[in-house]
Structure 1
Amino acid sequence: MSAPAQRLTQDELVAAVNSVVGAEPDLIANMANISAMIFEAMPDLNWAGFYLWKEDQLVLGPFQGRVACTRIPLGKGVCGAVARDRETLVVPDVHEFPGHIACDAASASEIVVPVLAGDRLIGVLDIDSPVKGRFSSEDRVRLEEIVKILVQTIG
């Protein structure tokens, strides 16, 4: 299926993700499309993408935005903390997060959602913004729904 031709609103994002990736079994292709759709639909972002759990660390996966850190150890930074604890983290000010990894110095806030298939860690969805306090509880719910759609495509 081809991607939507018009710019998505945040309210349309979950339904659009489901329509684009719902029937596609390839994880990397789905992560690439989801990253692009999030980056397009959500304002004030400077990075949207995935890190995959490989070799006991997070390794850079499909994303939209500036060049990023390639590998993140378990427990390091926001992504590593989410991989360790397997719970979504919303960080209103990344400069106040102990051990924050500054892949892009412009990032001011971040939300990271774990990608879990049952008990197995697949990776994390990481979204960064240059705006402090950018992410709301509604963003958290929306992004967790998108991750659930992604996990349903994993065979």
Structure 2
Amino acid sequence: MNFNSLQPSIKTIISSNKTRDEKLFAICQFLNQNVPYYNWVGFYFANHETKTLHLGPYVGAATDHTIIPFGKGICGQVAESNQNFVVPDVQAQDNYIACSLTVKSEIVVPLFVNGKNIGQIDIDSHEIDPFTKEDEIFLEFVNQQVALLF
């Protein structure tokens, strides 16, 4: 996968005249359509007062997980650790919130604005262990671009 070729499209979406949520949704659509193993793509945003994550724009199967407590599941762990979390096989994780039986792996990359973790991009795959360091680097780039919207 050549992620460098996808970067200009992300910048174009960010600089478009759409609302912030429309841009976030467009990014989700773009990633879902252009990376074959990105089967669910969405953003969660932190409420630090209630220590919860709230689902933002996403593309993929509907989820019941619209609010996730910090520390719970992969997303909740990233809200506390401020670190990328790659899960090659969700079945091997103790603290995993199952969204669908089709989900085999997950990657979550925190979104920082002025050094504060305000949320994250969350991607599920129907494949076991598809995510590489290149995915992490690319998703960090995506989040750097998204941070410009805040």
TM-score normalised by length of structure 2: 0.89
Report the secondary structure of 2:94's partner residue. Answer: coil
Shift of 1:64: 0.4
Match of 1:3 in 2: none
Report the secondary structure of 1:15's partner residue. Answer: helix
C-alpha distance in 2 between matches for 1:83 and 1:43: 27
> What does 1:40-59 correspond to in 2, within 5 Å?
40-54=33-47, 55-59=50-54
Q: Percent identity?
A: 33
Shift of 1:32: 1.0
TM-score normalised by length of structure 1: 0.87
2:90 to 81, 91, 94: 94
Partner letter of residue 58 of structure 1? L
Contact 1:13 1:37 (8 Å CA) reproduced = no
Partner letter of residue 41 of structure 1? N
Q: Residue 25 and residue 88 in structure 1: after superposition, are their counterparts in 2 closer, same or farther (change >3 A)? A: farther
C-alpha distance in 2 between matches for 1:85 and 1:25: 32
Structure 1 regions of 5+ residues with no counterpart?
1-8
Match of 2:80 in 1: 84
Shift of 1:29: 2.3
Structure 2 regions of 5+ residues with no counterpart?
none
1:104 to 93, 100, 112: 100
Deviations 1:18-57 (A, max 9, x none): 0121355843222111111111111023210111113420
